[in-house]
Structure 1
């Protein structure tokens, strides 16, 4: 087909330089290749960006969006490129807009217990600064040492502490957002309650940059709890028994900040790496941590571990020992990833609290039926199940057995009234499941919302909803 182009790449770059004079605009092949795919995403993008643009202020953002409208170009927002669902991969002839240099903590206000930050601020950086005035930023995704508040906001990132403090949306009080047409919105504010108008603030939290570009975020901060830190771990006969113990802990008024279940395959991997013998005494381990606690909580945990015949029980209120026990929750990663012959994919399937053992047992059986290596962990306080599937790192394509296992897990999760993404968001990886997850009516409404706020469908197209 013969095409007569209306503009050239040079035309776009010239317009960008005028519209966003303070931005760093890169078009060289090495820079484009570096930002082509998310570092941890499963899907590698074959597409090439038109330009990678690092903005330095809000006017740069508006200029990039004006250029995108003029030339009908897609815009992909990216900060640390740490999406695990390929949510900020390159698109063909797209403008990638990086907010990495918008990385200032505007203020930390101990009196109002909040912080105002730019999207490029790293999660743990904010938490460390808040700690200096006796506060903490609670959302704690596993990526908190390198993921940004902007990316966490765009994906509504969660973590182990969501059990006690909620996910990112529960800490976001206000946003400054620039729409595709250049309008700047100030949503929410600096109050802990606000019932005026529709809740547009949380419409944008988790929207993956498909509705607007976030340039400032106001978040609540929590006081660092007083009292002792208690941590405990126990091995149980099977996952169903562990689930009963976890339910008892949730209902006992202990308010854990961590409650993680590990399956038999994880225990075997940890035993192999660390010369322990957890798997000798059962198929499942529960790791619990409670912040700002007391002797009553310690006694309650001991009673529950005993009631459900927990083995190799570790339970303490000594800070140093507690941190070591709580560290068992993260010890699964070096144990699993020590197998250098495999590459891995981890998902985030969330089901009702009473169903997490059902899904974990199903995952284990899927591994057996499909002859697939699968390790499964769960945040036993909020029902988020993390199956980690491995296959030969030399395979050019993902094996059919792995794809079949993942699809079966997605279907089972929906069947259990769960969601196939609890904290990683949708990205490009799961966008095809929108109709099955949400149903036709809600799917259509989501498309209408997208069209209202981004009528040209320029912002991160084919992500979040497809």
Structure 2
């Protein structure tokens, strides 16, 4: 059905949009709009966009926003469309602005350790390119082979190595951003130290497309460590014990680059999915990696694991064996989602509180009767409890909503956050007032109004 406008018809709007998009494409066919307007894997009120813009230049982005301002249309920026929080689904009658085809590495500076990239460059592709020159790009979300740098920046994506190298925001030096009014801002630069003016670069990182459209980024590249990394797999009696061992490893001067945890439910799901036997006599598993290794490193690791009664410990610097351990970790999500309805959450607490939060989640599982799979980045207190229920049920059971509310409340009570790395999108924006408080919540809306007074950029995301 053609959308109706009181002052303009859709054809007039689309014709104008096509005039403004000079390098890319404007697509309005039903197949494209259905495919790009929403993700089938995320529940929500799915509605089609008016048009899908495949931008190939900064001019295309500016032209799209010119159209949006003229006709008062919402614009949702998409990159590689891997959002887990309904952060890139269409708004009915609006424009989807894709930056995926803006995918060139513009500069790879080996001497100073940075790269200048367009937003559609895939995270893993940049890392592979950097490694050919003895460098690497540190942020490694689970979507590393798929997600683009622009989307990573928009959500401040984390990942497995966050405990050592930080999240995306810790690896960005500068940005080019197009504002809702079409102005092009150049923020930050190429230096690791920058003290002039307000730090607007960091303001846009994690803003989820609500303040402007990222069209270029200058990111850090780090030198590859000299020694072979040491990777380990260890099993513990339960998740609280694992959390205590994790804290000890993190604070022992080892500087681990990875500390990944999986509970007994997750291990059982992997066993069912891959016909393995990881769950036998184990309540939790820890995968860890240390990039700078000495004899003392190995000695301390063994002492800590022994203190917390780790079993079936495997330590290796062999690349093939390490790949097998990583494959074990990568099987987690397919195994959990196999044959189940599921919602994966994303919370972070101070690492000293992780054991308490995990114990609370396990108690919730008993109280609600839900199957909850808890795993995540234990080294920085960021875990992903996944709540599951019968695949045959069409509607989400009330117990799921209740469990999420209790889980979120507990994380905040422990001094944590209910969005560690997956962003807010539309799934959690009602919690802004709870987590931030009324004064900061109001200030967030004032910032949004300053940068986007017509509220055309990704409306109802991030803040509600």
Q: TM-score, with normalisation over the residues of structure 2?
A: 0.96
Gaps of 5+ in 2: none
Paired residues, number: 461
Supply the distance in 2 between the matched residues of 1:22 and 1:280 (Cα, whole angstroms): 57
Query: CA 1:328 to 1:301, structure 2 compared with 1: closer, same or farther past 3 Å?
Result: farther
**1:378 aligned residue:** 376
Question: Is the 8 Å Cα contact of residues 45 and 89 (structure 1) preserved in structure 2?
Answer: no
Supply the distance in 2 between the matched residues of 1:268 and 1:14 (Cα, whole angstroms): 55
Alignment of 1:52-131 (within 5 A): 52-131=52-131
**Which of 420, 426, 446 is the equivalent residue of 2:444?**
446
SS at match of 2:120: coil
Question: Is the 8 Å Cα contact of residues 44 and 89 (structure 1) preserved in structure 2?
Answer: no
**Which of 407, 410, 424 is the equivalent residue of 1:409?**
407
Gaps of 5+ in 1: none
**2:28 aligned residue:** 27
Supply the distance in 2 between the matched residues of 1:34 and 1:241 (Cα, whole angstroms): 45
Deviations 1:19-59 (A, max 9, x none): 2232311111111111121364x333332211111111111
Alignment of 1:257-272 (within 5 A): 257-272=257-272
Query: CA 1:461 to 1:299, structure 2 compared with 1: closer, same or farther past 3 Å?
Result: same
**2:229 aligned residue:** 229
Query: CA 1:10 to 1:271, structure 2 compared with 1: closer, same or farther past 3 Å?
Result: closer
**1:142 aligned residue:** 142
Supply the distance in 2 between the matched residues of 1:411 and 1:160 (Cα, whole angstroms): 25
SS at match of 1:297: helix
Aligned alpha-carbon RMSD (Å): 1.6
SS at match of 1:7: coil
Query: CA 1:284 to 1:463, structure 2 compared with 1: closer, same or farther past 3 Å?
Result: same
Supply the distance in 1 between the matched residues of 2:71 and 2:274 (Cα, whole angstroms): 57
Q: TM-score, with normalisation over the residues of structure 1?
A: 0.95
Supply the distance in 2 between the matched residues of 1:335 and 1:93 (Cα, whole angstroms): 37
Question: Is the 8 Å Cα contact of residues 23 and 53 (structure 1) preserved in structure 2?
Answer: yes
**Which of 413, 417, 420 is the equivalent residue of 1:419?**
417
Question: Is the 8 Å Cα contact of residues 38 and 47 (structure 2) preserved in structure 1?
Answer: no
**1:18 aligned residue:** 19
Question: Is the 8 Å Cα contact of residues 288 and 326 (structure 1) preserved in structure 2?
Answer: no
How far has the Cα of 1:234 moved from its partner?
1.8
Query: CA 1:52 to 1:354, structure 2 compared with 1: closer, same or farther past 3 Å?
Result: same
How far has the Cα of 1:4 moved from its partner?
7.9
Q: Which moved more, 1:22-31 or 1:183-192?
A: 22-31
**2:46 aligned residue:** 46
SS at match of 2:229: strand
